Structure 1
Amino acid sequence: MKRLLLFIAAIAIAGKVSAQTCNCETEFTYIKNFMEQNYAGFKDKQAQMTKPKYDKLVAQYRAFTKLPNAPEKCLLIINQFLAKFKDHHVAIRMNFDAAKLDSAYMAQREIIPVSDEKIAELRKSTGFEGIYDFHDAAKYKIAVMKDKTELHDYIAVIVSSNLPGWKKGMIKWEGKMVSDSLAAGALYMLNGKPKPETFYFGKDAIWGDWHRENTKPARSSGKWEPVASRKLSDKTLYLKISSFEAYNAKNIDSVVKANAEALKTTPNLVLDLRDNGGGSDYTYGPLMQYVYTNPVKQTGASLLSTDANIKGWAAKLDDEERSEENKNSLRATVKLLEANKGKWVVNSPDGVINNFTKLPYPQKIVILVNKNVASSTEQFLLFARQSSKVTLMGENTSGTLDYSNWVEAPFSCMPYILRYSTSRSRRLDKGEGIDATGIKPDKYLKPGENWIQKAQEALER
C-alpha cells in the first residue's frame, strides 16, 4: 500500500510538472495553426508572400524554437513570426502578474558575460551602444550592445541591479531594428518573463525609461488627456479626442455636449485625432453629425465565423464600459456567426449613410492626423473625408483597417493572450485597401511645425 501511494504521488507530481512545462515548438505550432484557421487576413497575407515563401518562413521560425535558448526566446520568436503578417491588430499581451517573481524561470535564464573592459569601452560610445541607467537609477544599470542575430540587433544586459532575482549578465531587453531609430522585441519584466515591446532610440535616451549614464533623464512632455477642448479664437474651436476606445465613450459624449453651443455658432473646428489608435466605431457617433454634409458611400466588412472567433466576440459582452445598445448589437453578431460556422458573413453591408442633416456650423473643419492614427479612427476618416467641410492635415495614418474587429484568445500553455483580426474589408476586392499606405492627408505638415497653429491659419485664411 505504501509503495502504491508513493507511485500515485509520483504520477501526480509528474503530471503537475508536465502541466507547467511548455515546449516552444509545440506552442509555436499551436499559434501558427490558430492563425491559419481563425485570422481573417490569412489567405490574403499568404497569397502576398506566396505559399512557398510562407512555408519557408514557418520552417525558419520552427527551427528557432529548437535552439538551446528557445525557452527564454519563445515569446520573441512567436511575436516576430506574427509580425510578418504586417497587421497592427495582431498582437500579444501578458497574462501574468509582472511583479510576482518567478524564481524557477529566473534560475534558467541565460547569462551574457560582460567584462569590465567591455563596460569601459561602452562608456565611450556616442551611438546607441552605451551604459544606461533606468529612470530610477537606484534600481538597475544596463549595457546596451550591438549583437546582430536573426532575432535581435541590440541587447540590453544588466550591469548592476537591486531588483530581486536579477543578476549581472541577464538580458533586460532585446530588439531588432525596424527603422533607423526604432527597434521591436521583448522587454523582460520584473518577474523575468518577457512581453512584446518597442524601443525608441533618441539622443542619450531609449524609450523614455533609460538615459545614458551621467546624463539627466528627459522630462515628460506633459499630461495625457482623454479629451480636451478650448477656443483658439472667436472663429475657431479646438477639440482633441485621444482615443475611441470604449472606456472613452462617455468622455467623448461629454465633451461634445459641453461644446454644443460653440459647435452651433463657431465657423471653424480643429479636430485633433493625432495618436488616436482607434477602439470601437460607436464611440465617434457624437461627432458624425457635425462632419456630415452629403450622403457618404460606405464599403463594409465580412466576418470569418469559427468557434474561436465566436468565443472571442461573445467575450466582448463582459466589457462593462459598453452600452446596452452596443451589447445588443454584439449579441446579434454572435447569433449570426453561430448560424454560419465555417463561412464568411456580412458584418456591415455596403451602402450609403444619409441619415444626418447638414448643419450650418461648423462651416469648415480641419482634422489633424499622424502615423499613429489607426483602426476605428481611420474608419471615421473614411466617413469624414467625403464631407465638403473637411480637410485632413498632417501625415499618412498607420494603415490598420483592412483587417479589423479584433478578438482575443489564450495561448495553449504560455501565459499570454493573442489578439487578432476577425473581419476583412470588402474594399480590398475593389483595390481600395489602405494598410499599405495609410490614409493620405489633403495637406502634409512637417514634424517641427506647430500643427494646431497651421490648422487654425488654414481655417481662418
Structure 2
Amino acid sequence: MKKLVFIICLFASHLSFSQQTCSCSQNFDFALQKIKDNYAGWGDKITPKNQAEYDKLTQEVRLSAEKITDERECYFQLKKWFDFFKDGHLFISPITPYAVEELPAVIANRASKIPQLAFNEISFTQYLKENESKLQTVEGIWESDDKAYKVGILKDKNNPKKFVGFILADRNPSWKAGKAKFEMVQIAPQKYITNYYYADFSGEKNFTREIKNFLVIENIYKFNKVFPIPKEEVDNEDLLHKIADYRIEKLDAETALVVLPPFTLPNAPEFVQELVKQNEEILKNTPNLIIDIRNNPGGDDAAFTSLLPYISTGSIVRKGGVFRATEENIISIKHELEAIEEYPVYKERLAPKLRRVLQQMEANKGKFVTGLDKEFAVGVTMPNPKKVAFLVNKNTASTAEQFILEAKQSTKTIVFGENTKGLADYIEVRDWGLPCYGWRVAFSLAKSPRLPQKAIDNVGITPDIKISETELDWVEFVKNQLKK
C-alpha cells in the first residue's frame, strides 16, 4: 500500500541481482520462484479449479522464453503469465515501459479525420485583429504553461458552441500549422468538454474550465491567453483555489471541493496536511464537502489521514494486513527498516508497524500473520462538513479505494461516480531485481483481512449514487445532489 516508487528506489541497492549471461528464461524462472514462494495471493489465485490451465500456460511461457533473445518480446511473453493472476499489484517493471506499436497507416488514418485549418500565427493574429469586437472570450492565441504549445482557438462556423484549438507553427511533417490540437464544446458559461489529441492523434475527453485568462484542460494542460490582451487576469486567489491541480476550492456558500494529489506523490502526506491547514476556515465553515479522487492510483496510506477529522463521526479503524511469513518477505522488511533509517519521516511513520510485523513473521514462518489495527480516534465530531461526498471513477485505485472504505465508516459519507478500479485486495507491495535487462518484479506481501468475503479486485467499489456517462459536469452534479 505504500508508495511503490519509494519502495523500488529504496530497495534497488539491496535486492538487485545480476549475472554476466542473460536470457529471458532466467527472468521468468526467477520471477516465478519469487511469486510462488512469497506472493500473498498465491493460494487464492492458483486453485484446483484452474491448476491445469495455470500449468499449461506456465509450460508454454517457459518454452517460449527459452527461445527469446529480444527484451521487448520477452516482456510481452512474460506479461501473458502475469496477466493470469488478474492482480494489478503483481507485475514486471522494465527500465523503460514497452508500448504496443501501431502501424503508421493506422496513425495516418486517425490524423486524416482531425481538422486542418488554413491558419498560422501571422494570419490568425491578423484575423483576430480584424474581428476583435465579435470574438468570444475563449477565442484568441493561448500558450501552454510549459511553453511547449502555442495554439489558436476559433469558434466553429456552423456550431456556436464548438471551438477548435489548433497549433500555430509546424512541429513535424504530421503536425503542420493549423492542425487541430483539441476541440471543445461549450456546456455552460466558461465550461467545456474537450477532446484533446496526442502526438499519435489518439484522443482523450476531459472537462475544461475557462478562468479569466486561463484555460484549464483538466489532467492535461493549462493555457494562458496572450492575444488579444485579456480584459481580466487571474489573481493569487484564483491560482491557489481554482487553477492549481490539487486544491481546496469554495464552490458556493454551501459547498467546498477538495482535489487531492495522487498518493504516489513523494511528499503526499505533508502536501495534503499543509493544504488542509491552509484551508481550515473553508473546511470548518462549509456544510457540504466534495473530495475528488478520480484517477488517483493510490500510494501512501498516510496521504489522506489529515482529512479524517473532517470526515469521521466516530473512530475510524484501519485493519491490519494479513502478511505471508516467508524467509524472503522477512528479508524485504528487514531491508526496508534499514533503508528508512536515513529518512526520519518514513522511520517515524513506518518503523513501529514494520517491527511488529517482522517479529510476528519470524515467529510464524510458513504461515500468515495479521498486522495490528490502527485506530484514528475522534474526540468531538466536527459540526461541518455535515455531508462528505467522494467523487470516484474507474481509475480510482489501491490506497485511494482504501480511503473510501475507511471513510465509509462515517455516517457523513456518500460515494458518487462509477465503480472504482478494484485493486485493493493484495497489498504491501515490494519488489526484487530480476537477473536480466535491469527489470524488477513486484508483488504483494500481504492481503486484506476483508478476503475472501468482501473482495473488490477487478470489480471495484460500487458508488452509492452512480453518475451517468451522459452527465458532463460531475462536480456540478454532486454539488446539486448534496443540496437535496
Measured against the shorter chain, the TM-score band is 0.5 to 0.7
Q: CA shift at 1:376, angstroms? A: 1.2
Count residues with an aligned counterpart. Answer: 347
- 1:390 corresponds to 2:419: no
- Structure 2 gaps of 5+ residues are 1-17, 113-147, 149-171, 173-193, 203-216, 223-242
The superposition leaves residues 20-68 of structure 1 with CA deviations (integer Å, 9 ceiling, x where unpaired) of 3212223211211211111100110112862111111101211221345
- 1:341 corresponds to 2:360: no
Residue of structure 2 in register with 1:238 after alignment: 257
Residue of structure 1 in register with 2:438 after alignment: 415
Residues 325-336 of structure 1: pairs in structure 2 closer than 5 A: 325-329=348-352, 330-336=354-360
Match of 1:444 among 459, 466, 483: 466
Q: 1:45 to 1:225 in 2, by over 3 A?
A: farther
Q: CA shift at 1:460, angstroms? A: 2.2
* TM-score of the superposed pair, with normalisation by structure 1: 0.67
- Once residues 475 and 324 of structure 2 are traced to their aligned partners in structure 1, the CA distance between those partners, rounded to angstroms, is 41
Answer 1 or 2: higher relative contact order, Cα 8 Å, separation at least 6: 2
- Structure 1 gaps of 5+ residues are 1-17, 99-111, 129-135, 137-160, 162-201, 213-218
Q: CA shift at 1:437, angstroms? A: 1.1
Residues 120-159 of structure 1: pairs in structure 2 closer than 5 A: 125=109
Match of 1:287 among 307, 316, 341: 307
Residue of structure 1 in register with 2:65 after alignment: 65
Q: CA shift at 1:69, angstroms? A: 5.3
- Once residues 325 and 88 of structure 1 are traced to their aligned partners in structure 2, the CA distance between those partners, rounded to angstroms, is 29
Residues 175-190 of structure 1: pairs in structure 2 closer than 5 A: none
Q: Is the 8 A contact 2:86 2:458 kept in 1?
A: no
Residues 205-354 of structure 1: pairs in structure 2 closer than 5 A: 208-211=198-201, 221-222=220-221, 227-245=246-264, 246-296=266-316, 299-317=319-337, 318=339, 320=343, 322-329=345-352, 330-349=354-373
Q: Is the 8 A contact 2:422 2:459 kept in 1?
A: yes
Residue of structure 1 in register with 2:35 after alignment: 35
Q: Is the 8 A contact 1:236 1:456 kept in 2?
A: yes
- 1:380 corresponds to 2:403: yes
- Once residues 393 and 35 of structure 2 are traced to their aligned partners in structure 1, the CA distance between those partners, rounded to angstroms, is 30
Q: 1:210 to 1:343 in 2, by over 3 A?
A: same
Q: What SS is found at the alignment partner of 2:478?
A: helix
Residue of structure 2 in register with 1:164 after alignment: none
The residue type paired with residue 308 of structure 2 is M
- Once residues 110 and 391 of structure 2 are traced to their aligned partners in structure 1, the CA distance between those partners, rounded to angstroms, is 36
Q: Is the 8 A contact 1:302 1:346 kept in 2?
A: yes
The residue type paired with residue 36 of structure 2 is E
Q: 1:425 to 1:124 in 2, by over 3 A?
A: closer
- 1:403 corresponds to 2:403: no
Q: 1:226 to 1:232 in 2, by over 3 A?
A: closer
Q: Is the 8 A contact 1:242 1:275 kept in 2?
A: no
Q: Is the 8 A contact 2:260 2:292 kept in 1?
A: yes
- Once residues 411 and 226 of structure 1 are traced to their aligned partners in structure 2, the CA distance between those partners, rounded to angstroms, is 36
Q: What SS is found at the alignment partner of 2:451?
A: helix
- Once residues 281 and 63 of structure 2 are traced to their aligned partners in structure 1, the CA distance between those partners, rounded to angstroms, is 63
Q: CA shift at 1:257, angstroms? A: 0.7
- 1:86 corresponds to 2:109: no
The residue type paired with residue 292 of structure 2 is D
Q: Is the 8 A contact 1:304 1:422 kept in 2?
A: yes
Q: 1:48 to 1:434 in 2, by over 3 A?
A: farther
Identity %: 29
Q: What SS is found at the alignment partner of 1:249?
A: helix
The residue type paired with residue 277 of structure 1 is P
The residue type paired with residue 338 of structure 1 is E
